[in-house]
Amino acid sequence: MRVLLFGGSGMVGSGVLVECLEDGDVEAVVSVGRSPSGREHEKLTEIVHADLFDLSSIEDRLVDFDACFYCLGVSSAGMSEDAYRRITVRLTRAILDAVVEANPRITICFVSGQGTDSSEKGRVMWARVKGEAENYVRSLPVRSYVFRPGFIQPLKGVRSKTALYEALYTVMAPLSPLLRRLFPGAVTTTVAVGQAMLHVVRHHPESTVLETRDIQRLGGASG
């Protein structure tokens, strides 16, 4: 399996990258982003590209992939709707349009979020905009899966680049196994997300919108 990864320097993407590098079926990972992941591995090639809205200069390096794991995203906190839509919808379109054109048989796994509003009409701005992005992804002429994790515990040394979030994860780490048992529909791990993505590429389940319970099930309740 050859994997194309976007967002490998972020917490979720970094966790997915770890699972890909440890998986015996994954022969190569190409990670594309504005900054490097900080990892080195014989399977890993990193493309640092400043303008992700325009991939034309690297399009010849985006071909011959079996899967695209799209883990890019930002928090909507303090952002206007237009600014959040620019990253969440417009950037997603720019990247995935290029990926699908180069790989017409690829499987896409898109990280969204629990509570996303696929009607695009709700009052909560981030959920409405995420819903718009989800609907675009699901309309693509390739196999595509939307992942809606709730709280994600980072494992295997994965860390958040946001100091506040990292502090929260550190404080909650001892409680996370208990929380996953008590709230299986709301809490998962970076290991489970990565393993679930690899699972859907291998097995192509019918359901294309995966909530936290589905991620835990397909990821083997990992971590």
223 inside domain: no
Provide the token pair at 204. Answer: 């192509």
State residue 146's pLDDT score. Answer: 98
161 inside domain: yes
Query: pTM for the whole thing?
Result: 0.90
- List Cβ neighbours of 188 (8 Å cut-off, separation of 6 or more): 149, 150, 151, 152, 153, 180, 212, 215, 216, 219
State residue 187's pLDDT score. Answer: 86
- List Cβ neighbours of 214 (8 Å cut-off, separation of 6 or more): 196, 207
45 inside domain: yes
54 inside domain: yes
Could you list the residue range(s) of the whole structural domain that residue 144 is in?
Answer: 2-218
Angle at 148 between CA 93 and CA 125, to 5 degrees: 65
Q: Which burial class, exposed, middle or buried, applies to 24 when counting CB atoms under 10 A from its CB (0-12, 13-18, 19+)?
A: exposed
Instruction: Give the number of other Cβ atoms within 10 Å of residue 172's Cβ.
Output: 13
Q: What is the CATH number for 56?
A: 3.40.50.720
State residue 222's pLDDT score. Answer: 43
18 inside domain: yes
How many distinct structural domains can be found in the chain?
Answer: 1
pLDDT tens for the chain, 223 residues long, are: 999 999 999 999 999 999 999 999 999 999 999 999 889 999 999 999 999 999 999 999 999 999 999 999 998 989 999 999 999 999 999 999 999 999 999 999 999 999 999 999 999 999 999 999 999 999 999 999 999 999 888 888 787 665 555 555 565 566 666 666 666 677 899 999 999 999 999 999 999 999 999 999 999 754 4
174 inside domain: yes
70 inside domain: yes
